[in-house]
Chains A and B, each alone.
Chain A
């Protein structure tokens, strides 16, 4: 199954005596934008941390790009932007990027490239702590783009952005996918679900469904994705489509 960028089997994470993720089976096909949706507290962040290898897991396995999650070779292959912007508040945007680029041994031109990609070129000399919420999040996203990783794990990257910027980021995500990058993007905004090639819905630490937006619409008979999800949650029998993956629905961009 080398077409899958991420495979999780029986993934269980228990924290403080409670299951945050329960027996999760999931596969993320390479070269797609996969939306990870669910209410807050559903386990999205924990799943993303498990994939990046910083989460201690209780049971199950997670395989990323052919390696067990957290393996050393993955450290240059995955770009991760956590929900809280993880940059140094007292360094400028450029100084942050220069440092992380040197840690990644990324090309010297990478800081300029990623600043342009997230639209922060004009703010290169601004300390990260003085940026607005949306700019701060984009600075953190820029760090994840350094070194052109094969898998991007982005936890709520569009939170607090105005519609124009959100639109720009989604076209960036699609451009990256067209270059062969796999993206796992979490969101609790259902309107973003339609921009993804595939959707993964989590609820209370369990996988509710995993399929393409088009198929979700046909199966539930509802056009609006939010309504479609509601139907699936209310009628669990509908939520079994996750292992069907007709070739006709695969996006053309990320073939490898």
Chain B
């Protein structure tokens, strides 16, 4: 692995984003608008206070899954990935470059979402930094899964379908809509193997307790571990030789 190549790749991806200001605006504005919408649809401060932190964990995950999977799919299909595979750059240099660039995007997005959520009445016992770090780890999970998922898509149509396939079951089962403990056994056990469940557990822990608990660290660790696993699986899909 070469930090210089990771840096150059991250810089290149950020430059691509700079040429596409509309995407950047959508990345920052859409989650905030959805938060505002939810606040007034439910029109219930207590309910929103419970919901908002979980959304802070879920939004970056969903959005970054989507943009990472499409960006890497474009790289695979435009021939630039094949070109890079003939050059002295390793697959981890590329993957970490992607993770770094979109991770920076996630930092900005998470900051905006947290600020808007606080403005709308979200309350937290734990520190905002803890909340931010957990949201960022979730974003990293979205990036890693997006990198992995793009390997199985041949077109933009397919990759957009992966969003409901990879993401929606996790959102449905993560405890956002119903507490996981109350679910039917089968559903509960499915939720146990889904990393987003631990993200929501961690953020709930962070909101309810002032101190950083052991449970919080374990949950966040599981999310981070899943992200690393997805990155490794994603690396396995980057092949120098193709049929």
Contacts and interface: CB of A to CB of B under 8 A. Distances in A.
A157 to B, nearest CB: 14
Contacts of A87: 80
A90 B19 contact: yes
A173 B83 CA distance: 21
Interface stretch (A30-38, A77-85, A185-193): A77-85
B70 to A, nearest CB: 13
A61 B9 CA distance: 33
A127 B19 contact: yes
Interface stretch (B27-35, B86-94, B216-224): B86-94
A104 B80 contact: no
Interface stretch (A21-29, A47-55, A164-172): A47-55
B16 interface: yes
Among B8, B20, B87, chain A packs the most CB atoms within 10 A around the CB of B87
Contacts of A52: 86
Given A54-B82, A75-B86, A103-B89, A90 B242 contact: no
| Range of interface residues on B (Cβ < 8 Å) | 20 to 34
B83 A82 contact: yes
A70 B86 CA distance: 8
B86 A54 contact: yes
Interface in B118-153: none
B154 interface: no
Interface string B1-36: 000110011011001100110000000000000000
A102 B4 contact: yes
B179 interface: no
A53 B241 contact: yes
Interface string B38-79: 000000000000000000000000000000000000000011
B87 A90 contact: no
B15 A95 contact: yes
Given A75-B86, A86-B83, A91-B15, A99 B241 contact: no
Contacts of B4: 102
A102 B9 CA distance: 9
Contact of B87 (A56, A75, A85, A127): A75
B15 A53 contact: no
Given A54-B240, A84-B79, A89-B78, A103 B87 contact: yes
B85 A99 contact: no
A84 B80 CA distance: 10
B84 interface: yes
Contacts of B88: 72, 75-76, 103-105
A93 B45 CA distance: 52
B214 interface: no
23 contacts: A15-B243, A53-B240, A54-B241, A55-B241, A55-B242, A56-B243, A75-B86, A76-B88, A78-B86, A82-B83, A86-B83, A88-B12, A88-B78, A89-B78, A91-B12, A95-B15, A102-B5, A102-B8, A103-B9, A103-B87, A103-B89, A104-B87, A143-B83
Given A87-B80, A90-B19, 16 more contacts: A52-B86, A54-B82, A54-B86, A54-B241, A55-B242, A56-B241, A70-B241, A72-B88, A75-B86, A86-B79, A91-B15, A100-B83, A102-B4, A103-B88, A103-B89, A104-B87
